[in-house]
Chains A and B, each alone.
Chain A
Amino acid sequence: MSTLTKQDTFNSILEGAPKNFESERTLAKESYFAQGLPALKAEEYKFTSIAKKLEQTIENFSSAQAFEVSDELVKSSIYPGFEGNVLVFSNGKFLPELSSNIEGLEISALSEKPETAIGSIAKVEKDAFAALNQASFVDGAFISVPKKSQVEKPFLLLSFNKSNEGQVIQPRIWIEAGDFAEVTFIDQSVDLSETSYFLNKVIEIKGGVNTHIRYYRIQNEGKNSIEVSNIETDIQQDSRFTSVNISLSGDMVRNNLNLNLLGSNSEGNMYGLYLLNGKTHVDNHTNVDHTIPHAESNELYKGILADQSRGVFNGKIFVRQDAQKTNAFQQNNNILLSEDAVVNTKPQLEIWADDVKCSHGCTTGQLDEEALFYLQARGIDKTQAKGLLLYAFAGEVLEHIEEDSFREYCISLVQERLGSKF
């Protein structure tokens, strides 16, 4: 009998929650109790039973507090070639003293911005983990990019996570970008934990009209992380939002990515790559909601799975009745390198408008033996030929990273992985 599906699992965390954002937290707590943690049979978490995983791995839950992070640690953790602004977090708490000071931008601890409409984008009733976060996060960050500012240099959201004895880390970030703003975020975590830990993250992004926001994330932290993230974006008229998510490690990872296209002539792009080995389990659930006419969404997720790894892809495209002239494309392709690796992929299209262009497709297969032989027959060593083919497969996602230094960094990580471990 699962104890986690009971209401009291996270009670001490909920009880110890800060007193700010009172109405938001109360609402979230009620919603969390109403939903309960998704049980094994819950449709949305069918393949990814976070609740069971937590129960097997972690005993006593408590909230992780911020710990001291040194300047040297920050410096040595920034990926090579990065040039831009760094925002440092310790177990989810924003550390302004270690972060770049950027003129014209408003960046602070979320606790200093009590009027922030948290939960207005990532609504608690959609996901129990989002509700849990909203009810009990310790502190987070508020980032506001003013109107018309085009921040050329990217922001590195650099999170240091250290959890012991079942401490739960619940980062929460609110990002807003004024009309005509253009900005790039790179989200990366450094894991300093020695034991398994639970990371439950929420990021809300609110874009004005004519904004151009890029959100890149690399998940290459510890092997022992159990992670859920809810990232949700509202996109207005004439705006473009692009997300690229690269997953390379973790124990069990669930990424919920939701895009709400709220203004015409807007474009949402979602790209993802997961290279998994060992017993890593990564689940990408995406949802794009076309609410208005003349918007476009593009989605490409690709996976390479070795050993006993497991991948899940679930892509929802929702086209509402008013959303005529919608263009929506979705593609998920997987290569399995071992007989024990498994992928579950499911496109989910719900189309209520009649004048739309939607396409979707998914494939799961092995490495193309014909192509491998062709390369070998030209004198290319088998291991290298495999690497070339897998890299070609993965490259299609990486090329959507527009920030040069980050793309190069990801390419080097991916090549290293494809050359050695696979």
Chain B
Amino acid sequence: MLSIKNLHASIEGTPILRGINLEVKPGEVHAIMGPNGSGKSTLASVLAGREEYEVTEGEVIFQGKDLLELSPEDRAREGVFLAFQYPVEIPGVSSTNFLRTAVNQVREYRGLEPLDAVKFLSLMKEKMKLVEIDQKLLSRSLNEGFSGGEKKRNEIFQMAMLEPTLSILDETDSGLDIDALRIVSNGVNQLKSDKTATIVVTHYQRLLDYIVPDFVHVLYKGRIVKSGTKELALELEEKGYDWIKDEVDSKATV
């Protein structure tokens, strides 16, 4: 489904991603872990099409298409979804209006009829249950005045509405208490199928107790320096990242 080869990206001339390789197949869950500042959000943003990042080398193929050639909106319409680490507050844009525009533009791209107001509302109701999000939140401006947890929940709600093929969750667990974590993970798990894939970016092992990964990768200094199964996450939880840093940094100096 997703094939990243030797991806290099920089911002304002500073290289951040320095040769990422990753293969994701339908039905799989990949966790990307790593210390702060290692480039996890950068990778997520590059995949979603943020323009500030310049891709200097490498390729990304998503379902046979050159993802890097597509505009951010077309990537979303092709089925890529990024749950932001820091969702933006947009005063004056109503959540409902925004979602309806988004859903219908995505549907149009996929050759589907737009949803009328009634169908849209019933879809919304159905998906709201999934992440136990309150109607009141959605009658406000997009993310405006939402708590950290509410914003994260809203991201997963949007994901449910847009039915992506590839979901990238950037630190969706941060700022969530244990109940919210359970609800959000539950939502993600229910949206999983053998045709979709998920990339979970996280610091902490605890999310991975709920969303169980098939593979765990450690990103450090813009490269995937270690890959393994879910046991790797447990090991990282126990030992921290220093041993990996030491391993990588000592190799680099040799």
- Pairwise interchain contact A379-B84, C-beta atoms closer than 8 A: no
Q: Is B201's beta carbon under 8 Å from chain A? A: no
CB-contacts of B63-113 with A (<8 A): 71-73, 75-77, 82, 84, 87-88, 90-93, 98-99, 101-103, 105-106, 109
The size of the chain A interface, using a CB distance under 8 A, is 22
- Pairwise interchain contact B82-A376, C-beta atoms closer than 8 A: no
- Pairwise interchain contact B77-A389, C-beta atoms closer than 8 A: no
- Pairwise interchain contact B93-A379, C-beta atoms closer than 8 A: no
CB-contacts of A357-382 with B (<8 A): 368, 370-371, 373-382
Q: Is A392's beta carbon under 8 Å from chain B? A: yes
In whole Å, how far is B153's beta carbon from the nearest beta carbon of chain A? 16
In whole Å, how far is B37's beta carbon from the nearest beta carbon of chain A? 19
C-alpha gap A385/B93 in the complex (Å): 10
- Pairwise interchain contact A373-B162, C-beta atoms closer than 8 A: no
Q: Is A18's beta carbon under 8 Å from chain B? A: no
Q: Is B50's beta carbon under 8 Å from chain A? A: yes
Q: Is A388's beta carbon under 8 Å from chain B? A: yes
Q: Is A82's beta carbon under 8 Å from chain B? A: no
Q: Mask for B16-53, Cβ within 8 A of A = 1, else 0?
A: 00000000000000000000000000000000111100
- Pairwise interchain contact B105-A381, C-beta atoms closer than 8 A: yes
Q: Mask for A288-320, Cβ within 8 A of B = 1, else 0?
A: 000000000000000000000000000000000
Across-interface contacts of B91 in A (CB, < 8 A): 392
Q: Is A224's beta carbon under 8 Å from chain B? A: no
**With known contacts A392-B93, A393-B92, A375–B98 Cβ distance under 8 A:** yes
- Pairwise interchain contact A380-B93, C-beta atoms closer than 8 A: no
- Pairwise interchain contact A376-B49, C-beta atoms closer than 8 A: yes
In whole Å, how far is B203's beta carbon from the nearest beta carbon of chain A? 22
Q: Is B158's beta carbon under 8 Å from chain A? A: yes
Q: Is A395's beta carbon under 8 Å from chain B? A: yes
Across-interface contacts of B103 in A (CB, < 8 A): 379
Across-interface contacts of B109 in A (CB, < 8 A): 379
Partner of A379, one of B87, B92, B162: B162
Partner of A377, one of B49, B93, B105: B49
Across-interface contacts of A220 in B (CB, < 8 A): none
Partner of B73, one of A379, A391, A393: A379
C-alpha gap A370/B72 in the complex (Å): 13
Q: Is A331's beta carbon under 8 Å from chain B? A: no
Q: Is A255's beta carbon under 8 Å from chain B? A: no
Q: Is A384's beta carbon under 8 Å from chain B? A: yes
Q: Is A396's beta carbon under 8 Å from chain B? A: yes
- Pairwise interchain contact B92-A373, C-beta atoms closer than 8 A: no
- Pairwise interchain contact A389-B93, C-beta atoms closer than 8 A: yes
**With known contacts A374-B90, A389-B90, A393-B92, A380–B73 Cβ distance under 8 A:** yes
| Beta-carbon nearest neighbor of B108 in chain A | A379
| Beta-carbon nearest neighbor of A378 in chain B | B102
C-alpha gap A25/B141 in the complex (Å): 53
- Pairwise interchain contact A377-B48, C-beta atoms closer than 8 A: yes
In whole Å, how far is A367's beta carbon from the nearest beta carbon of chain B? 12
In whole Å, how far is A335's beta carbon from the nearest beta carbon of chain B? 12
- Pairwise interchain contact B76-A378, C-beta atoms closer than 8 A: yes
Q: Mask for A167-186, Cβ within 8 A of B = 1, else 0?
A: 00000000000000000000
Across-interface contacts of B141 in A (CB, < 8 A): 392
Partner of B76, one of A371, A376, A384: A376
- Pairwise interchain contact A380-B88, C-beta atoms closer than 8 A: no
- Pairwise interchain contact A388-B49, C-beta atoms closer than 8 A: no
- Pairwise interchain contact A378-B162, C-beta atoms closer than 8 A: yes
**With known contacts A376-B71, A376-B72, A380-B73, A388–B98 Cβ distance under 8 A:** yes
In whole Å, how far is B114's beta carbon from the nearest beta carbon of chain A? 13
In whole Å, how far is A368's beta carbon from the nearest beta carbon of chain B? 8
- Pairwise interchain contact A392-B76, C-beta atoms closer than 8 A: no
C-alpha gap A393/B92 in the complex (Å): 7
Across-interface contacts of A381 in B (CB, < 8 A): 73, 105
**With known contacts A371-B88, A388-B101, A376–B93 Cβ distance under 8 A:** no
| Beta-carbon nearest neighbor of B141 in chain A | A392
Across-interface contacts of B90 in A (CB, < 8 A): 368, 371, 374-375, 389, 392
Partner of B50, one of A373, A385, A393, A396: A373
- Pairwise interchain contact A392-B92, C-beta atoms closer than 8 A: yes
- Pairwise interchain contact B48-A378, C-beta atoms closer than 8 A: no
Partner of A380, one of B48, B87, B102: B102
**With known contacts A389-B93, A392-B90, A396-B92, A380–B101 Cβ distance under 8 A:** yes
Across-interface contacts of A389 in B (CB, < 8 A): 90, 93
Across-interface contacts of A382 in B (CB, < 8 A): 71-73
Partner of B101, one of A377, A384, A395, A396: A384
In whole Å, how far is A401's beta carbon from the nearest beta carbon of chain B? 16
C-alpha gap A374/B98 in the complex (Å): 11
- Pairwise interchain contact B88-A379, C-beta atoms closer than 8 A: no
Chain A CB within 10 A, most for which of B49, B76, B103: B76
Across-interface contacts of A393 in B (CB, < 8 A): 92
Residue contacts A-B, CB under 8 angstroms, 11 given:
A375-B90, A375-B93, A376-B49, A377-B49, A378-B76, A378-B158, A379-B109, A379-B162, A381-B73, A382-B73, A384-B105
Other A-B pairs beyond A379-B103, A380-B102, A388-B93, 16, CB < 8 Å: A371-B90, A373-B49, A373-B51, A374-B87, A376-B49, A377-B75, A377-B76, A378-B76, A378-B162, A379-B102, A379-B106, A380-B105, A384-B105, A392-B90, A392-B141, A395-B92
B residues bordering A, Cβ < 8 Å? 48-51, 71-73, 75-77, 82, 84, 87-88, 90-93, 98-99, 101-103, 105-106, 109, 141, 158, 162
